Amino acid sequence: MATLSEKKRDSMPDSKFGLPDEHKYPMPDKSHARNAKARASQQVKKGNLTGSEKAKIDRKADRILDK
């Protein structure tokens, strides 16, 4: 996965985030999209993320991954 600097992350538009309101789960490329799906699954299991939030992240990632 390519490194995403704080400066680049801060300059990304909301549309590049899985949860744009919170600026969480950045997805500027396919590797970040795969990572976002994996991290979202982990957070659901821990109880830190709702199923609907995970679904939103997965939909966004799938569009980037051409699924």
**How is the chain split into domains, by residue range?**
17-64
Q: Is the CA virtual torsion 64, 37, 16, 7 positive or negative?
A: negative
Q: To the nearest 10°, the Cα dihedral for 47, 51, 52, 53?
A: 50
Return d(Cα 67, Cα 61) in angstroms, integer. Answer: 9
Which amino acid, 41?
A: S
Which pLDDT tens digit goes with each residue over 13-50?
Answer: 999 999 999 999 999 999 999 999 999 999 999 999 99
CB atoms within 10 A of CB 40: 23
- pTM (whole model) above 0.85: yes
Average the pLDDT over 55-62 and give the result.
98
Q: Looking at the chain, list the stretches that DSSP marks H as alpha helix, in order from N- to C-terminal side.
A: 6-11, 30-46, 51-64
